[in-house]
């Protein structure tokens, strides 16, 4: 009986060991498969507004068409610092950033008005500090646009930001959180132009600012110069006549190790360099925001028209 119990116990232990070994083997194979799958695919991120989603989809379609690599889309992540952190953590492989934003909001460096200088400073610093590479700029500068209603511009003969100084004490302003906090944003802007408003600015979602302006909930907002809804809603972007805002050229930022792992990726992104003007970006944004069209279809039509 004792020998039988010992034999049973040994058999059970052996079976348990075999089962445990099988489970561990399956787990290792699964993890290996996940690692291999992650190593083969490209993950693209974006910030949380229309233009970023359009640009991210443009990168995704370009990479799929030129390299055959599978692309995972992680769009609408949030603001600049969230995308930057996701890139540093390896959760995404690339996203589109703006050179002036990278220089001031990420690197904390003083602004410059020279586009080539800003691009060079960001390119060098990103490579040294983060192991990121900037590819060629896409071709347009998306600077901040201080936007008012066309009727107010006509009545007050307002063309530039300097023109609104006497009107500002009666106006309500509406800005996104990032504009209020970043070093090239609200504080420096009001100091440069010596502006004072009727009350503290309202912090608003970027998707709501133009409608709030049109509905007279606020009198001035900080938008983007490539937003298609500015003209569609009969709004006016004021000239930055004191040249406060630095250049914000749109450029893909990629993890260096991703480029090393997939050499074909570099040529696919290089082919997009200089291919997208500010006017074309406005039209793409309006197709999505104003005409409520599908982003992938809008991008496919653009790539076809550009021979990409």
pLDDT at 4 over 90: no
Distance CA 184, CA 222 (A): 12
Work out the pLDDT band at 75, boundaries 50, 70, 90.
very high
Interval 213-225: pLDDT, tens: 999 999 999 998 9
Distance CA 18, CA 28 (A): 15
Domain residue spans in the chain?
Answer: 37-141+248-305, 144-238
Are the CB atoms for 233 and 227 separated by under 8 Å?
A: no
Distance CA 98, CA 226 (A): 13
Does this chain's domain 37-141+248-305 share its CATH topology with 144-238? yes
User: What's the rounded mean pLDDT across residues 92-110?
Assistant: 95
pLDDT at 259 over 50: yes
CATH code for the domain defined by 37-141+248-305? 3.40.190.10
User: What's the rounded mean pLDDT across residues 111-123?
Assistant: 94
Residue 21 pLDDT: 42
Work out the pLDDT band at 20, boundaries 50, 70, 90.
very low
Of 239, 296, 305, 237, residue with least CA distance to 277: 305
Between 24-28, 55-59, 117-121, 167-171, the lowest mean confidence (pLDDT) is in 24-28
* DSSP string for 288-306: HHTS---HHHHHHHHHHHT
Residue 171 pLDDT: 97
pLDDT at 30 over 70: no
Are the CB atoms for 221 and 173 separated by under 8 Å?
A: yes
Residue 183 pLDDT: 83
% of the chain residues with pLDDT over 70: 87
Residue 127 pLDDT: 98
> Which two structure tokens, joined as six digits, stand for 102?
């990278």
**Mean pLDDT over all residues of the chain?**
88
Within 157-294, residue ranges assigned H as helices are 177-181, 186-193, 209-214, 229-232, 256-261, 264-270, 278-289
Interval 128-184: pLDDT, tens: 999 999 999 999 999 999 999 999 999 999 999 999 999 999 999 999 988 998 888
Q: Could you give the count of Cα atoms lying within 13 Å of 76 in the half-sphere of its Cβ?
A: 3
* DSSP string for 9-30: HHHHHHHHHHHHHHHHHHHHHH
Residue 40 pLDDT: 80
Distance CA 290, CA 47 (A): 20
Residue 39 pLDDT: 66
Are the CB atoms for 225 and 68 separated by under 8 Å?
A: no
Q: Residue 133 has what DSSP assignment?
A: E
The superfamily in CATH containing domain 144-238 is Osmoprotection protein (prox); domain 2 (3.40.190.120)
Between 14-23, 64-73, 173-182, the lowest mean confidence (pLDDT) is in 14-23
Residue 38 pLDDT: 56
User: What's the rounded mean pLDDT across residues 237-243?
Assistant: 94
Q: Residue 93 has what DSSP assignment?
A: S
């Amino acid at each position: 009986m004792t020998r039988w119990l010992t034999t049973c116990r040994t058999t059970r232990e052996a079976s348990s060991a075999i089962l445990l070994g099988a489970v561990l083997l399956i787990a290792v194979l699964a993890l290996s498969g996940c690692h291999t799958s992650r190593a083969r695919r490209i993950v693209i991120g974006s910030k949380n507004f229309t233009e970023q989603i359009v640009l991210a989809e443009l990168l995704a379609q370009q990479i799929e068409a030129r390299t055959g690599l599978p692309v995972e889309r992680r769009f609408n992540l949030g603001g600049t610092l969230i995308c930057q952190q996701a890139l540093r953590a390896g959760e995404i492989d690339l996203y589109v950033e703006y050179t002036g934003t990278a220089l001031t909001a990420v690197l904390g460096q003083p602004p410059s008005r020279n586009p080539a200088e800003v691009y060079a400073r960001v390119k060098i610093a990103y490579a040294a500090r983060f192991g990121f590479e900037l590819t060629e700029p896409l071709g347009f500068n998306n600077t901040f646009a201080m936007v008012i209603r066309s009727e107010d511009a006509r009545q007050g003969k307002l063309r530039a930001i300097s023109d609104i100084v006497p009107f500002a004490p009666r106006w309500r302003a509406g800005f996104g959180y990032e504009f209020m906090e970043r070093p090239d944003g609200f504080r420096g802007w009001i100091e440069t132009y010596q502006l004072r408003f009727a009350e503290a600015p309202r912090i608003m979602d970027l998707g709501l600012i133009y409608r709030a302006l049109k509905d007279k909930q606020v009198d001035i907002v900080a938008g983007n110069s490539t937003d298609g809804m500015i003209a569609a809603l009969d709004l006016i972007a004021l000239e930055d006549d004191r040249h406060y805002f630095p250049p914000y050229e749109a450029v893909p930022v990629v993890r260096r190790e991703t480029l090393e792992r997939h050499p074909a990726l570099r040529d696919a992104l290089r082919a997009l360099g200089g291919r997208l003007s500010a006017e074309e970006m406005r039209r793409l944004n309006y197709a999505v925001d104003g005409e409520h069209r599908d982003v992938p279809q809008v991008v496919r039509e653009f790539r076809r028209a550009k021979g990409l």
